Every structure is written in C-alpha cells, then in structure tokens.
Amino acid sequence: MAAFGSLSTRLTETLAKLRTKGKLSASDVDGTVREIRRALLDADVALDVVKSFTAAVRERALGAEVSEALNPAQQVVKIVNDELVGILGGESRQLQLAKQPPTVIMLAGLQGAGKTTLAGKLAKHLRGQGHTPLLVASDLQRPNAVTQLQVVGGQAGVPVFAPEPGNGVGDPVRVAREGVAEATRKQHDIVIVDTAGRLGVDADMMRQAADIRKAVQPDEVLFVIDAMIGQDAVATAKAFQEGVDFTGVVLTKLDGDARGGAALSIRGVTGKPIMYASTGETLDDFEPFHPDRMASRILDLGDILTLIEQAQKAFDEEEAHRLAESIATDGFTLEDFLKQMQQLRKAGNFKQMLGMLPGAKGMREAIDSFDERELVRTEAIIQSMTPQERKQSRILNGSRRLRIARGAGVTVTEVNQLMARFEQAAKMMKTVAKGGVPQMPGMGPMPGMRQPKKAAGKPAKQQRRSGNPAKRSAEPAQPAAPQGSAFGKPKAEGAFGELSNADQETLQRMLGNR
C-alpha cells in the first residue's frame, strides 16, 4: 500500500473537510472535485482517466443521492469509493483455467519489473490452491535469469524446466514449447513461462514475446509492470497490448515509495483487468487483486476481508480451540505465548496487516515505529527457557532470568520487560476467554469500556523493592509507564484510535475468542 500512500493521504484529507458541513453546496462539490483532480494528477494517473473519474464524481455528487441524503459527506465518500472501484476494474477476475490441462500462463514485461520473482510467487500461490505448476525458464537473455528462476522455484517448492543455461545461449521459443510438452508428459496442470524483458520497449523484444505466444498458445498472458514506473506505465502498457495482447495485469512493488498512478491508469487505458498484486519481497507477499478492497484501502476505510483471509491461512483452527480451552482451565502460559507469536509471524508482514485496519492513517506513526525484530527477540527469549519455565513462569527468579538472558543473547532487563508484557497479555487473554473485551496494551481503552475511577490526589501504589541489590535482581521488574505495546516500544495512549464493533469482533476472533 505504500505505492498509494501519498494519494491516500490527499484523498482522505480532502474528504475529511466535508464532514463539518451539514449540507453541501455546488461550490463545496466543485472544490472537493478540484482537490481530487490535483491528487490524482500528482499521483501520475493518466489525464484521460482523471478527467473521466472527476466528471463522474461531480455529476453524482451534484445529484439527488447527495442532496437528499441525511449525511451528504458520507454519501460523497461512497461515490468516490464507487468510482475508484470502477477505474480499478469493478470486479476481481480469476485465472481462466484450460478445459484440458495444462493451463499455460505466459509472463511478459520490461526487465526489472520483477517477472522472475513474480513467477515464483504465482507458482507458490497456485501450489497452495492444490495445483501442480511447472516453471519454464524462457528468459535466456538476462544474465543469470535461469539460475534465479531455479532458486525461486526451489523456495516455492515448484520444479523448473531449464534445459538451457541462458546468458544469451539457447532458443527461448523452443524452450517454451518443450516446457509445455514436459508439463503434459509429467501431468503438471499449470505451466508458467518466464520470458525475457528489456530495459525499454523494442522491436526484438516484442517479436520474441509474440513468437513465444504463438508457439505455446497461452490461456493467459500476464503483463507484469512495476507500480513505481509512473507515467511511463501507460505507454508501456499500450506497446505490450499491441505487440503481445495480454489478458491481465500484475502489479509489482506496491510496497515501494511510489505514487501509484500506474494501477489507476492501466485498467482505464487498456481495459485489461488487474489480477494480482505483489506487495513485498518474500514469496508470500502476493495476493489476488480486488478492486473494491484496494479502493477501500486508498480511502483509509480498511480491508478487513483480506486481513481475515491472511489470518485464517496462518492460524490453526484446532490450535485456537486448544488455546481457548487452555486459557479457560490452566491459564495462558509462555508456551501458548510462543505459539501465538510463531503464528503471527507466519501470517505475513505485520505492518501491512495493521495497515488494513480502518483508520490506519491515524495510527501511521505507531505502525511505522513497530519493530518486527522484536518478535524474533521474544521468540529467542522464550525458547531459551526450559519446558517447565514456560508452563510455570512464576518460578523465574533472578538466577533463571540471568541464564535465559545469556542463552538468548539479550540483557536481563529485556527478559524482565518480556515478562511484564506477558503478564499483560495473560490478563487480556483471560478477559477474552470469559467473553469480555480487553483493554489492549498501548491502544487505550476499547470503545464501550468504562475507565476505572481513580481517587483524586492519590497516585497508584507501587510495589516496594528490596534495598539489597542481590535480592532486587531476583524481583520482577516494575513495568514502565506509560504501558508499551504487546511487542514493541511504548506507544501513546489511544495511538490506535477507536475501532468499530465489527473490527472489535474481528480482533476478538483473531485473539482466540471463537
């Protein structure tokens, strides 16, 4: 989503100005449309797309659906969201599988767009859906492209057909044709053909891509384009449409610091659907493209559906039930804490997941300051404990904590801080197990929860600590105030803002209250 960061900020700020107005005049609408036009142009969206988008927004905003609405500002947000969904493609499109396997998917695009890595991501994604893909190394032009595809294929757990060494040696058309025959012979149901790119569009590149297409008759031709390419995206897309005639688009580097206009322009200019998005460097940073969800993210309305889908992939249903029973009977242990941590890491990029929550712009500082390495350190500390210590944390005295710190390569202070955070998490999980809504550490009170009243002028009592240094080292460290987040550095109270009832329910499900 970083590719849409600037555009998202501009649009949300523009639409936020309407909330103070009980009724919208024509001048209010014109001013808003003018700001939207500037935001889109600054994001490198093609001029023709900007004109049609803003004209549609203005026409609808001046119509009866806004003038007669009880909340005109919300209605305008809905209109902008609807139009964004429209220019992003309307509905998501799935791969068209061949009636008679194998389904042949050809990748095309400029050099540097990330085709080879994308081939591995797509192969792993399809393998996870029960398919048996085969990667074909037909990029024999770029240095070490064949080797890179073999490495990526190994990481994805997918075989690679690479009869030629590449580096300028071999016939890419013949390799592609033989790759499809190999897939048929070994009963692979999907073939992904990686083709060569150039630093710019040229006649030789298009001729080779067209020859490969003619030789293998692909069911899908996916045009892979770098989301950071800016205005050049339109010219490049048109050239590939004329030379290769692709059937769908894949956006790469959506996590990059770019303006993101390419995504909003390509669909409007070529009429071809955006089918997938690459959102990071690992093979798991890949997802089907849903126009409605992406529009919702751009307008900072959240993407709870994708968040839940990612969580469901990583979180084991049986383990969640076992954890809930454990909390209800024996309590929340460090062993449970470790398993949750490991499942959280499997779910993917934690910052990206937090960015899918509604109102993520309001907690951008908290998200950006989150250090995912803290999860690794926490795992190391818990894994340095004995099984008994993980189940009975109360036995962790000073000497045990010193041993654990040395085993994990951290300080005793860090072990003490982890234990303080664990105790917070244990209290929270106990509340969840009883059907309550917890106060999340560092997130302020959850909506609907009453703040406990404090006696005026009486500060909270703090537990006394021994004056003997040896005894004091054996005592648990006092948690610092203000309380920090569950895993990272201390955050200001209310840093995450308020969540809607639906978001609260989602968080409770992810925390194990099923």
Residue 235 pLDDT: 80
pLDDT tens for each residue of 217-248? 999 999 998 877 766 777 888 888 888 889 99
Query: What does the pLDDT read at residue 185?
Result: 94
Give the pLDDT band of residue 132 (cuts 50, 70, 90). very high
Looking at residue 263, its pLDDT comes to: 66
Q: How far apart are CA 497 and CA 236, in angstroms?
A: 42
- H/E stretch holding 224: strand 220-226
Confidence label for 412 from pLDDT (cuts 50, 70 and 90): very high
pLDDT of 484 higher than 60: no
Residue numbering of the annotated binding site for GTP: 109-116, 194-198, 252-255
Q: Does the pTM of the predicted model rise above 0.85?
A: no
Q: What percent of the chain has pLDDT over 90?
A: 22
The more confidently predicted of residues 8 and 42 is 42
Positive or negative: CA dihedral 67, 71, 75, 76: positive
C-alpha 445/C-alpha 438 separation (Å) is 8
Structural domains in the chain, sorted by start: 2-87 (1.20.120.140), 103-301 (3.40.50.300), 307-446+471-510 (1.10.260.30)
Sheet holding 190-195, edge to edge: 160-161, 133-138, 190-195, 103-108, 220-226, 248-252, 274-278, 286-288
